[in-house]
Amino acid sequence: MSIILEDFRESELDNWYWFQEALTNDELVEIETIQESIPFTKAKVSQKLVDLECYRKSEVKWFPKETIEHRWLYEKFINMITESNRALWNFELTSIFDDLQYTVYNGEGGHFDWHMDIGKGKYSRRKVSITLQLSDPDEYEGGDFEFLIGNEITKLPRKKGCAIVFPSYFLHRVTPVTKGVRKSLVLWVSGQPFR
């Protein structure tokens, strides 16, 4: 017996999408201006402070989605995620639970070890992740953003202003920053949990 799905669409569940110049230089400057008035907090994992810096060492700020001055940035991110999703995965995307996360990895070993962006509770609803590179590659050493797909590690582009869009179930990391500062902006879009 065979099952026929009438609305079957091809998808590339192990692929990712990127925008080489996601934002203009003026928009990148505007992000830096916005973040100046927001205080840093120590990064968490699944709502728990990570005491062991061997897993994650970074500082974060949050750009609330309710704030009018952030709206243009959310619209840009949503447009990139929509284009990527239509091109590769065709996930049902319905909402944004989390605010935009501005993350700084300092040169004293700032990093985030292998992890996925999905988990328990509301994190089980994350479908697509996007990260925007805010630092010029010459401003830091180390700090590679990498995927582990199967048994292959892929280093992602480091160009300032580029955005990487990927399924939230991808295993990924930021390797330790050995010099300088690496900055990024991250958002997650949600839907019904994967089944």
Tens digit of each residue's pLDDT (9 = 90 or more) over 111-122: 999 999 998 888
pLDDT of 51 higher than 70:
no
Please report which helix (H) or strand (E) contains residue 74, including its range.
Answer: helix 71-88
- Please report how the helices 25-35 and 71-88 are oriented relative to each other, as an axis angle in degrees rounded to 10: 120
How many residues belong to the chain?
A: 195
Q: pLDDT band at 6, cuts 50/70/90?
A: very low
Supply the pLDDT for residue 194: 85
Tokens 């580029």 found at: 162
Q: How far apart, in whole angstroms, are the C-alpha atoms of residue 53 and residue 46? A: 15
Amino acid identity for residue 146 in this structure = E
Helices (H) and strands (E) in the chain, counts: 2, 15
Tokens 């704030």 found at: 67
Q: Which whole number is the average pLDDT over 59-67?
A: 95
SS3 call for 152: strand
SS3 call for 86: helix
- What average pLDDT is seen over the chain? 90
Say which CATH topology domain 17-36+55-190 has: Jelly Rolls (2.60.120)
Residue predicted with more confidence, 120 or 54: 120
pLDDT of 1 higher than 50:
no
57, β-bridge pairs: 111
Provide the CB-side half-sphere exposure for 35 (13 A, CA). Answer: 22
pLDDT of 8 higher than 80:
no
Q: What is the pTM of this model?
A: 0.90
Q: pLDDT by residue (tens digit) across 106-148? A: 998 999 999 999 988 889 999 999 999 999 999 999 999 999 9
